[in-house]
Structure 1
Amino acid sequence: MRGVHGAVVVVCGLLAGCGGSPVPVPASAVPSAVSVAEDLAVVAGGGLAVPAAKQLPAKAAIGGPDYAVRLAEVGTADHLEPAVVTQFGRMQSATGVPRDASGTIAAGAGKEFLFVRLAEVPGVKSEPSPNVKARLRVGDKPRPVEGFVVPGAVLVALVPVGAPVTLVVTDEGKDQSVDVRTGAVGPDAVAAYLKPRPYGEVTYKLVGQISGEPARTYVEITVSAALEPYDHRLNGTWAPAGHTWLRMWVDLKVSAFGTLAGTIDMRQSLQLSAGGKAVTVEPSTPKVERASMSVSDYTVADQVRMDVVEGSVQTLTFRFEPKGALTRDGKPATLKLESSPQQRLTLK
């Protein structure tokens, strides 16, 4: 039988009392007949009580493209209660506790069980994601965390008494860290992910004429925009330090009696400015596609991104005039709008 060693475990949805009454964790030590895994580091259900809980600062939070979490409270105990031990027995690969274990588990001389409750970042949604990996840095030694780091869970670890412990979360290749005992956030934190991302959308209709068509056509245009430090396209790319991606989506719908095809040149079609300064649009040539379940409607859908300074964009002005290589029934064609007024889009 192994002795008691340092470890961290995250158990989500398994612990008794999860979503109900908290499982008590008394402060007094009780002799133990079993031990936990040497590298125990797990996330447990939110029904687990944090012993001798100390509230952490509201700014003890980190977030990325696929997660956002706040460290709400921290506490320690010199043993695990039987109800917790029983649940750990169901997670043998992560905890090392035998399936039939009962009674308490003592931390052992010079050791303590560290509990950290995770909570939501106000206004920011977070769902479990396999892209997010976590580890504890206990002193100068890394220790993998088993389970999803999500709001409502409790992180449990066996560590040396008083040892410095830092939670490090990796998402899309970027590490962010927070001191588990104090809530101090590391310099690697991306503050933009601790609040809802700025977003805006405008939909409007114009009248146009496709060369060769017997009648005018209505053109429906939807333009939306968001600011994101990370762009998942092209295997993912982080914006340079101090900058963010201005991401824009353009959806165009027109009708025609003839068969339309070809491409739209986004750089020529989308005239964009922010704060009175022109923004050069990313090159892109999306195809004209027939709309599903329709014989006369055609659509163009595309996304472009531009590198802008963080905090420099709140309101956009734009004009969209479709330009490109369009064909009707296989012959070169043009789409001319009767007017193309400037539009205003606010990100909030």
Structure 2
Amino acid sequence: MRGGFWAVVAVCGLLAGCGGAPVKVPASAVPSPVSVAEDLAVVAGGGIAVPAAKQLPAKAAIGGPDYAVRLAEVGTADHLEPAVVTQFGRMQSATGVPRDASGPVAAGTGKEFLFVRLAAVPGVKSEPSPKVKARLRVGERARPVEGIVSPGSVLVALVPVGAPVTLVVADEGKDQSVDLRTGAVGPDAVAAYLKPRPYGEVTYKLIGQITGEPARTNVEITVSAALEPYDHRLNGTWAPAGHTWLRVWVELKVSAFGTLAGTIDMRQSLQLSAGGKTVTVEASTPKVERPSVPMSDYTVTDEVRMDVVEGSVQTLTFRFEPKGALTRDGKPATLKLETSPQQRLTLK
């Protein structure tokens, strides 16, 4: 009886004064109602724990020219823990959670919070880019995802219980999708961006003679190449289906006592072949440039691209012999190489 008596007194003391009159609780001690935006879909910090986490398949990944992410784990909960609510309070515009909120938030009848942890795609470097936009497709409706889709973060969304949810990421005008509950990727996925892009580079030195120069000149040539489905130049262009862009960069360095100017005709200067077949070089005429330091060096730098069948190019052979409209001290000139050996470049 004695213990029960004290229990009643304790409860009474919390609710009323000794005379039975209600006791007002200070306003500062009353938690304000907390809720989230009905269309909540945000990419939040990686410190958020995924409740009842389930590992997703390694192939649950999508990538494009400006991003690459893998869905590592997924989980659901009927409420948000206080730690998540506090973080959401710092993201008011995206979540609707007041800045001073601290308590848990219930999902509500027929709804649940979906958590998906994003990770890096092994071997693929990806810098977060604001150009990449994402949206969630829930049934027939879509909602934008606030924040930047990037490895090391967690996507949190308020969705109907058990409803199919698809993440759609748009990059350079192309959508790619992945099912957030199963990790299954859509048919629009570009597999080339889920592995390092094949790349190779060769640098070699030759001796040449420029018309009017009192001595021969050292010539350094660097040729590099890569295979990519998307080319950022000219406002960007995707390669046709089943094809990829062979992107080739050329840098030519020469020294001269006189003043050089003019252009190099890349189609005539660069001879390319792959698998024994000649690859037609894109027409381009880069200018001869003179950096401020050192004063005697001139450079020609350019990129050309070729449309090739995907999987058809692994090793390139090339010969570069500069031809174009050059001048030395305002007079027509040529740059002739003593030799112009064929080079081999392997894309790895």
**TM-score normalised by structure 2 residue count:** 0.90
Deviations 1:155-178 (A, max 9, x none): 001100000000000000000000
Deviations 1:308-346 (A, max 9, x none): 111111000000000001111111111111110000000
1:263 — aligned with what?
263
CA deviation after TM superposition for structure 1 residue 291, in Å: 2.8
CA deviation after TM superposition for structure 1 residue 126, in Å: 1.4
Q: Which amino acid aligns with 2:82?
A: P
2:7 — aligned with what?
none
1:14 — aligned with what?
none
Q: Secondary structure of the equivalent of 2:162?
A: coil
CA separation in 2, counterparts of 1:319 and 1:166?
49
User: Is 1:294 aligned to residue 301 of structure 2?
Assistant: no
CA separation in 2, counterparts of 1:127 and 1:241?
26
CA deviation after TM superposition for structure 1 residue 136, in Å: 0.5
Deviations 1:1-49 (A, max 9, x none): xxxxxxxxxxxxxxxxxxxxxxxxxxxxxxx942111111111111111
Q: Which amino acid aligns with 2:57?
A: P
CA separation in 1, counterparts of 2:167 and 2:36?
20
Please say if residues 62 and 176 of structure 1, whose CA atoms lie closer than 8 Å, have aligned partners that are also in contact. yes
1:133 — aligned with what?
133
CA separation in 2, counterparts of 1:95 and 1:290?
53
Please say if residues 314 and 347 of structure 1, whose CA atoms lie closer than 8 Å, have aligned partners that are also in contact. yes
Q: Which amino acid aligns with 2:48?
A: L
2:311 — aligned with what?
311
1:344 — aligned with what?
344
Segments of structure 1 that go 5 or more residues without pairing to the other structure are 1-31
Q: Which amino acid aligns with 1:85?
A: V
CA separation in 1, counterparts of 2:337 and 2:180?
59
- My pick for the range that moved more, 41-50 or 170-179, is 41-50
CA separation in 1, counterparts of 2:127 and 2:227?
20
CA deviation after TM superposition for structure 1 residue 88, in Å: 1.3
CA deviation after TM superposition for structure 1 residue 214, in Å: 1.3
User: Is 1:186 aligned to residue 186 of structure 2?
Assistant: yes
Q: Secondary structure of the equivalent of 2:206?
A: strand
Q: Secondary structure of the equivalent of 1:193?
A: helix
Equivalent residues in 2 for 1:216-231, closer than 5 Å: 216-231=216-231
- My pick for the range that moved more, 131-140 or 289-298, is 289-298
Q: Structure 1 runs of 4+ off > 6 angstroms?
A: none
CA separation in 2, counterparts of 1:54 and 1:318?
50
CA deviation after TM superposition for structure 1 residue 258, in Å: 1.2
Deviations 1:54-80 (A, max 9, x none): 110000000000000000110000001
1:80 — aligned with what?
80
CA deviation after TM superposition for structure 1 residue 109, in Å: 0.9
CA separation in 2, counterparts of 1:102 and 1:286?
61
Q: Secondary structure of the equivalent of 1:290?
A: coil
Q: Secondary structure of the equivalent of 2:102?
A: coil
Segments of structure 2 that go 5 or more residues without pairing to the other structure are 1-31
CA deviation after TM superposition for structure 1 residue 213, in Å: 1.2
Deviations 1:196-235 (A, max 9, x none): 1111000001111111111111111000001111111111
Deviations 1:248-272 (A, max 9, x none): 1110011111111111000000000
Please say if residues 267 and 282 of structure 1, whose CA atoms lie closer than 8 Å, have aligned partners that are also in contact. yes
Q: Which amino acid aligns with 2:167?
A: L
CA deviation after TM superposition for structure 1 residue 292, in Å: 2.6
2:246 — aligned with what?
246
Q: Secondary structure of the equivalent of 1:155?
A: strand
Q: Percent identity?
A: 91
CA separation in 2, counterparts of 1:257 and 1:100?
70
User: Is 1:112 aligned to residue 137 of structure 2?
Assistant: no
- Gap change, CA 1:139 and 1:292, over 3 Å in 2: same
**TM-score normalised by structure 1 residue count:** 0.90
2:273 — aligned with what?
273
Q: Secondary structure of the equivalent of 1:72?
A: strand
Q: Which amino acid aligns with 1:198?
A: P
Q: Which amino acid aligns with 1:207?
A: I
Q: Which amino acid aligns with 1:222?
A: T
Q: Secondary structure of the equivalent of 1:248?
A: strand
Deviations 1:125-146 (A, max 9, x none): 1111011000000112101100
2:204 — aligned with what?
204
2:4 — aligned with what?
none
Please say if residues 33 and 105 of structure 1, whose CA atoms lie closer than 8 Å, have aligned partners that are also in contact. no
Q: Which amino acid aligns with 2:211?
A: S
**How many equivalent residue pairs?**
317
CA separation in 2, counterparts of 1:169 and 1:254?
45
> Greater helix share, 1 or 2?
2
CA deviation after TM superposition for structure 1 residue 83, in Å: 1.6
2:66 — aligned with what?
66
Larger radius of gyration: 2
CA separation in 2, counterparts of 1:89 and 1:320?
60
CA deviation after TM superposition for structure 1 residue 100, in Å: 2.2
CA separation in 2, counterparts of 1:274 and 1:202?
16
Q: Which amino acid aligns with 1:66?
A: D
CA separation in 2, counterparts of 1:280 and 1:144?
43
